[in-house]
Amino acid sequence: MKSGLKIIHWIVFLWLLLVIIRYELIIDYLSLIFSYISLLFTDTSSALTILSFNFVDASLSTLLFLLIVPLTLYFGKRFRFITGMLNFSFGFLIMLGFIFLFAPIITNENPEFSKNLSVTKLLPPLSTVYEFELKSDIDNNLSDAEFFLKESEEVIKPPFNDNIILADSFRLSDKVIYYQKNEANEIEKESLISKTGIPVIKTKLYLIGTDEFGRDLFARLIFGTRISITVGLGAVILSFIIGIILGFIAGYRGGLLDVLLNRFAEIFLAFPVIYLVVLILALFGSSIFSVIIVLGISGWMSLFKIVKSEVLSIKKKDFFSTAELVGLSKIKLLSREILPVIIVPVLVNMVFLFSNVVLAEAALSYLGLGTGSSYPSWGSMISSGQEYITKAWWLIAFPGLGLILTLFTFNSSGRMLGKVLNPRLRK
């Protein structure tokens, strides 16, 4: 596919798209960061206590977002990858990276926000509702920290907000009458936030619909992507560390330890890992960390085998014995002499491992053993969507599609990498 499009063009395109769509949000985030910094100078202790994960997340994302273009331009010269040709897999891979890094910029809806269930429950994609915002009591003697919190809630939305009313339709007379599923309610114009005397009524768009609790599916999908990728990365890195170290020990030392480790790897390989994972998670309880650890531990065998066989052959090479005789420590031998030689097959294996882990995490969440209900995850979204399968196809279609495309991307890029390595398949 010689389209002439390079990967860097795609990165810049996605970046520009986000800038154009979300420039208001980015400016809001920036002003929030500045007011936080000024708060840090005036009132350090309370500034530190009100620091929340969401705020740190959003501000880091924003800063990284601003830096990404100079960074790619700078590092682009070093990595040939960035000027490579664009194809579907790489394009989707980069999109996933964008979602992972810049989730708070892509959507600032809270994935847990649910209000006025009768209006928002199970809305199909591209439906809109009207959003009224009540005036909150204005307190003039707010401290700086409280003022900052109030300001930040405007941008980083909390999961609960009593001041927002969602409605199907409305009528303006001397009062505002709004309808929620044939039920009419009225409120005073004065109680709404207004601009030059006219109450502000926004329309709220649900891009891919809502779920059974009236939560925005798009926001859940975006943040669910993050969870899946975090679990995948964490587990793969853990497998990498275990596999490399055990493989090095087995290959380098040999002897009884080698035999034992081999048997051990054999057990893990000779067993449907998903059973062990389900068993361990059910016995010890499941959280995002235990999922990462269990999946990481259950995936080290293939890496172990690769590293061991490579170490066995490297051990006899001249450059390695020289390095040994110079007196390098074991860690340096591993990181400087062995890792650079075996990094490519290891990398291919890790790509496949990543797709396995993402799949396993989704399957676990589907069974109700995943990262828990506090985080939206693709698997749990599908499993809760299955109950509404007759009414709401979008609950399953979008997370399912995301999962399929992610797995496909990783499988096919792993295969592409593998082809580069295996000259017999290349023609």
Partner 1 sequence: MKSDIVKTLVIRFLSSVLTLFLLVSFLFIIIRLSPGDPTDKYISAKLGSELSERIAEKFSLNQPMTEQYLSFVSNVFRGDMGVSYNFRLPVFEVIWEYFSFTLVFASISFILQMSLSIWLALYVIKKRKKWLNKFVTNSSLFIYSIPAFVLGVSLIYIFSVTFNLFPISGLRSLDYDDLSNLFQVLDKLHHLVLPLITLTAAGIALFYKYIKESMDDVLNQTFVINLRASGVHENIILRKHVIPNALRPLISVAGVELGILLGGALISEVIFSLPGMGRLTVDSIFSRDYPLVIGCVFTAGTVMILANFLADIIKLKIDKRLVKGILN
**Is 47:35 a contact under the CB 8 Å cutoff?**
no
Structure tokens at 215: 């939560």
Nearer to partner 1, 234 or 379 (CB): 379
The one-letter amino acid at 22:
R
Can you give 106-170 as a three-state secondary structure string?
HCCCCCCCCCCHHHHCCCCCCEEEEEEEECCCCCCCCCHHHHHHHHHHHHCCCCCCCCEEEECEE
Nearer to partner 1, 199 or 296 (CB): 296
Phi, psi of 124 (to 5 degrees): -70, 165
Q: What is the b/e burial string over 272-292, where b = at least 16 CB atoms within 10 angstroms of the residue's CB? A: ebeeebbebbeeeebebebbb
**Is 113:129 a contact under the CB 8 Å cutoff?**
no
Nearer to partner 1, 195 or 263 (CB): 263
Nearer to partner 1, 148 or 378 (CB): 378
Residue 282 beta carbon to partner 1: minimum distance, rounded to whole angstroms: 4
* C-alpha–C-alpha distance, residues 399 and 118, integer Å: 24
- Chain residues binding partner 1 by CB under 8 A are 263-264, 266-267, 270-272, 274-276, 278-280, 282-284, 355, 359, 362-363, 366-368, 379, 382-383, 385-386, 389-390, 393, 396-397, 400, 403-404, 407-408, 411-412, 415, 424-425
Closest to 217 (Cα-Cα) out of 61, 393, 3: 393
Nearer to partner 1, 130 or 264 (CB): 264
Closest to 299 (Cα-Cα) out of 335, 334, 274: 274
Closest to 224 (Cα-Cα) out of 90, 342, 379: 379
Residue 366 beta carbon to partner 1: minimum distance, rounded to whole angstroms: 5
Counting other chains too, the contacts that 66-73 makes at CB distance below 8 Å and 24 or more residues apart are 68/11, 68/15, 68/101, 69/12, 69/15, 72/8, 72/11, 72/12
Nearer to partner 1, 59 or 413 (CB): 413
Closest to 12 (Cα-Cα) out of 106, 76, 79, 57: 76
Closest to 206 (Cα-Cα) out of 133, 113, 99, 134: 113
Residue 16 beta carbon to partner 1: minimum distance, rounded to whole angstroms: 30
Residue 215 beta carbon to partner 1: minimum distance, rounded to whole angstroms: 20
**Is 47:87 a contact under the CB 8 Å cutoff?**
no
Residue 2 beta carbon to partner 1: minimum distance, rounded to whole angstroms: 16
* C-alpha–C-alpha distance, residues 260 and 266, integer Å: 10
Nearer to partner 1, 13 or 264 (CB): 264
* C-alpha–C-alpha distance, residues 324 and 60, integer Å: 43
**Is 132:164 a contact under the CB 8 Å cutoff?**
yes
Nearer to partner 1, 112 or 310 (CB): 310
Residue 280 beta carbon to partner 1: minimum distance, rounded to whole angstroms: 6
Residue 420 beta carbon to partner 1: minimum distance, rounded to whole angstroms: 15
Nearer to partner 1, 201 or 246 (CB): 246
**Is 388:122 a contact under the CB 8 Å cutoff?**
yes
* C-alpha–C-alpha distance, residues 167 and 199, integer Å: 15
* C-alpha–C-alpha distance, residues 238 and 235, integer Å: 5
Residue 400 beta carbon to partner 1: minimum distance, rounded to whole angstroms: 4
Nearer to partner 1, 218 or 352 (CB): 352
Nearer to partner 1, 15 or 393 (CB): 393
Residue 409 beta carbon to partner 1: minimum distance, rounded to whole angstroms: 8
